[in-house]
């Protein structure tokens, strides 16, 4: 007796797809951690913690240390991948890094609006920081979820099968001449672009590092204190910092950022000892300055014309708005309008942010990176099966060409040149004969003004 048996589709091993996604996540985290160690942690420890002077020797030693650290991290990463990594893992790590970069850039774009709304007092900076963190987390989670989709993972495997992330050569013994010429041509083309970029000094005006500003870390370097200098130091003494520009005879270091109190103490000690005091620029958080500015503008006025106010009030003095209105109300109505005041000038300056370094030393690293990337792309392109087969077929067809000898080439060239010259002379002779016959007075087919022709020949002898 026949029995119907329900067949179920084959079940994928549990966690296989998730295993690839976890591997991609781990690989992306390892690469980002390596960049942080080489690009931020080691230089920060070298210059800030050890306090080494910036000299050629110390910079060279740091470069050697970074090179050794990068080599060790690359070696460790290759060991973690193993001799036979899961298909699609290397492609997933590569595209995962670009996904993280895109998510960070989108989060930075969103933070511009959030910071703008914060400065417009729609919500507090703490709420803005929370919103920015939520948007960033949402974008990163969305990027990670893309790599959980089976269709994306199948595409990653297809990309990896094409050999873009492997040293494997495709039909390495065939079409070598055309392949090498193609690699050389592409590399020369990129080299010309890099040379043009360097020669035109395209990167000269750019910042030394490519950094993404971190939201809500903006600090204002006060180029002008306006009318609020004394009030600023009195009310925000604990939140003011100074970037040292000239240390003078103090223990401070140029470029160091210290609290305003510490800087004021060093300045006072230097003056009391008849030594050169330090100089620097005031630095304050932009939101603290914004709150101070709003309160200062709403509660203070600057007297432009004291009029009949008491003698203790002078032109340019900054006082409380309520005090000014009170003293003005004491005056007689007919002279009250002579006493005037305006809103005081607020402190201001450029805003600088703490940055997330993406590419240090753009002036040097970008040309090197472009050269290395072009060489790798050219190498992989000539080993791409579709393009490689085309190059192999091209070389096979070129090999079928029967090239002439040197002697025969010279003879054929002479024959062609002599033939061209004789043909030219023949056409000139035929044209002259027909012109003479057709312009003959008895035939007069061509009407030619000889005086005008002679004049034109004198003006334009060619």
Q: Report the chain (462 residues): mean pLDDT per 10 consecutive residues.
A: 48 56 91 88 81 77 89 91 87 92 92 90 88 94 90 90 83 88 90 86 75 88 84 84 85 81 86 86 88 88 86 86 87 83 87 83 84 88 88 88 87 95 95 81 61 55 52
Q: How far apart are CA 192 and CA 200, in angstroms?
A: 12
Per-residue b or e along 234-253, where b marks 16 or more CB atoms closer than 10 Å to that residue's CB:
eebeeebbbbbeebbebebe
- The reported pLDDT for the residue numbered 9 is 47
Rg (CA), the chain: 39
- The reported pLDDT for the residue numbered 460 is 54
Kindly list the domain boundaries of the chain, sorted by start residue.
16-166, 219-351, 409-459
- The reported pLDDT for the residue numbered 272 is 86
- The reported pLDDT for the residue numbered 277 is 87
- The reported pLDDT for the residue numbered 416 is 95
């Amino acid at each position: 007796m026949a029995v119907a048996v329900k067949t179920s589709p084959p079940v994928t091993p549990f966690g296989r797809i998730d295993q690839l996604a976890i591997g991609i996540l781990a690989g992306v985290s390892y690469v980002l951690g390596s960049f942080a160690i080489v690009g931020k942690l080691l230089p920060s420890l070298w210059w800030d913690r050890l306090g080494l002077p910036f000299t050629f020797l110390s910079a060279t030693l740091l470069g050697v240390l970074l090179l050794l650290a990068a080599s060790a991290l690359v070696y460790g990463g290759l060991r973690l991948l193993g001799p036979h990594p899961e298909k699609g893992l290397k492609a997933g790590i590569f595209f995962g890094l670009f996904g993280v970069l895109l998510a960070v850039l989108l989060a930075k774009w969103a933070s511009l609006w959030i910071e703008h709304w914060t400065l417009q007092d729609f919500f507090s900076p703490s709420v803005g920081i929370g919103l920015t963190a939520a948007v960033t987390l949402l974008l990163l989670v969305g990027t990670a979820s893309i790599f959980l989709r089976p269709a994306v993972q199948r595409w990653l495997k297809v990309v990896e099968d094409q050999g873009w992330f492997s040293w494997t050569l495709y039909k390495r013994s065939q079409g070598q001449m055309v392949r090498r010429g193609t690699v050389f041509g592409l590399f020369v083309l990129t080299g010309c672009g890099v040379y043009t970029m360097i020669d035109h000094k395209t990167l000269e005006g750019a910042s030394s590092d490519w950094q993404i500003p971190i939201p809500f870390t903006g600090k204002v370097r006060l180029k002008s204190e306006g009318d609020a200098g004394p009030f600023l130091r009195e009310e925000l003494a604990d939140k003011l910092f100074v970037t040292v520009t000239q240390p003078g005879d103090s223990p401070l270091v140029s470029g160091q950022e210290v609290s305003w109190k510490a800087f004021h103490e060093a300045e006072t000690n230097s003056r009391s000892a008849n030594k050169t005091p330090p100089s620097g620029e005031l630095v304050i958080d932009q939101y603290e300055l914004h709150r101070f500015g709003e309160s200062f503008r709403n509660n203070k006025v600057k007297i432009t014309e004291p009029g009949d106010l008491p003698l203790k009030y002078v032109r340019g003095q900054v006082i409380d708005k309520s005090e000014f209105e009170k003293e003005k109300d004491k005056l007689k109505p007919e002279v009250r309008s002579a006493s005037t005041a305006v809103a005081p000038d607020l402190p201001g300056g450029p805003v600088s942010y703490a940055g997330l370094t993406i590419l240090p030393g753009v002036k040097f690293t970008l040309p090197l990176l472009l050269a290395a990337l072009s060489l790798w792309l050219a190498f992989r392109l000539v080993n791409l099966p579709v393009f490689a087969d085309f190059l192999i077929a091209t070389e096979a067809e070129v090999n079928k060409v029967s090239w002439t000898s040197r002697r025969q080439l010279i003879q054929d060239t002479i024959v062609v040149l002599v033939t061209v010259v004789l043909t030219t002379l023949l056409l000139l002779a035929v044209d002259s004969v027909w012109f003479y016959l057709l312009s003959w007075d008895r035939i007069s087919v061509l009407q030619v003004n000889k005086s005008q022709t002679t004049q034109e020949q004198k003006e334009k002898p060619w």
